Structure formats: C-alpha cells, structure tokens
Amino acid sequence: MSTCQLPAWPPTLSPSHLDELQQAGATYALANSLIFKLPSPTGVHGSHVPFTLLPSPFPRDQFEKAERIQTAYNQLYMNIASSPELIREVLGQSISKVDPFVGRLYELWEALEQEEAEDEVDEHFSLGIFRNDFLLHQSEPNQPLAIKQVEFNTVSVSFGSLASKVSGLHRSVLMAMMVPSRPDQSSRLDLSIIES
C-alpha cells in the first residue's frame, strides 16, 4: 500500500484564471476530436465531451496494483457472462423483473441464446469490454492509501477510447497553468505539486 499523502488538490485558482483554463480545455477538446453529436431538430450540433479540467493525482503503485488485478477481474466477469444458468438465476428471475433496462438486456440475451442453440455451428466467440472504476481510500489520516473498486461496467465503456486524448488535454491545461498568457499573471501552479 502507498504511504504517500496526496497533495492538496485542486490548487486554488482565481475566477479569471479558472475561466481561462476552462476555455483552454474546451478549445483543446474541440480541436482534438473530443466531441460528440448533440440531438438537434434544426441541424447538426456538437459539443466537447465532458472532461475534468485537471487530472487527479493517483499514486503509481496503486495504479499498477489496479492493472495487476484487472486480469483476475476480467476472468471473473467472463466466467459469469459464460454461465447461462447463473444469468437466468440472477437476472432472469429477479433483477430483470424490476429494472426495465436490465429486463430489455435480458430479453436480448435470451434471444441470442435461443439463436445460438438453433445454430448448427459449434464455435463460440466472446469479447468482453469492461471498465472497472477504482477510488483511493484512506481509513485514517495517517494510514496508507489503498484502491477500492467502486463500479464495474460493460455498458458505459464508450469513452474509453478517448483516454489518450484526455491525457493530452490535461497536459495542455497543466502547461497553461504554469505559463502565464499575460505578463500580469503571477499566481501559477507550483511545479512541485505535479512532481508529488
């Protein structure tokens, strides 16, 4: 477990500096295809995807731990998804009856299971696209930091492909915090915060 303490974050920013950084972030997002189409009856409209203005500090050892345990999580999820009996018991007999969204997913799954049973081809391929969300936890102020899994998703994974672009956006915003765009701006981010 990580024994480091996270820096005070986010840094204190003046309202004008915050506005400047928000504009820089939105401009970067639009210029680098961090966009999505908005529904509009009058034509095509778009916007930047939702993003955090600043990256969140995260200890490297905890990030690497999340990477290491992800393989086991993925195997667990694939085993569950490959067990029709378990899916019928857990989803079909309970959750699908009270949650319309899960109910519709369960109906689709049943239809695919039926189609596969009628198919004469004996090959079965699966692809799992999973997203695990972790948060840092610290039970007491001087206790070590640890990761805790807070969510698992197979449906809300569409923005995963944008991660590298969001990293670029964060680098751009952090650089804007350190380099004054006007000579009178002196309250810039202390570089030591990034290093920690």
Pairing of strands 45-48, 35-38: antiparallel
Per DSSP (E only), the strands in 22-173 are 35-38, 45-48, 131-137, 146-153
Q: In angstroms, how far is CA 111 from the centroid of its own chain?
A: 30
Average pLDDT over residues 112-128: 77
**Residue found by looking up tokens 């600043």 in the block:** 54
pLDDT band for 183, please (50, 70, 90 cuts).
very low
Tokens of 69: 């345990």
* Residue 5 pLDDT > 80: no
pLDDT at 52: 92
- Average pLDDT score over the chain: 83
Which residue, 19, 45, 58, 22, is CA-closest to 138? 58
| More confident site: 41 or 69 | 69
Give per-residue pLDDT as tens, 155-180: 776 677 788 899 999 999 999 888 65
pLDDT at 103: 92
pTM > 0.75: no
pLDDT band for 64, please (50, 70, 90 cuts).
very high
Q: How many CB atoms lie within 10 A of CB 178?
A: 11
pLDDT at 100: 93
Q: Which helix (H) or strand (E) holds 68?
A: helix 60-81
DSSP for 18-65, written as a single string: HHHHHHHHHHHHHHTT-EEEEP-TTS-EEEEPP--SSPPP--HHHHHH
Q: How many CA atoms lie within 13 A of 159 on its CB side?
A: 13
Q: Where are the domains of the chain?
A: 15-82+126-195, 83-125
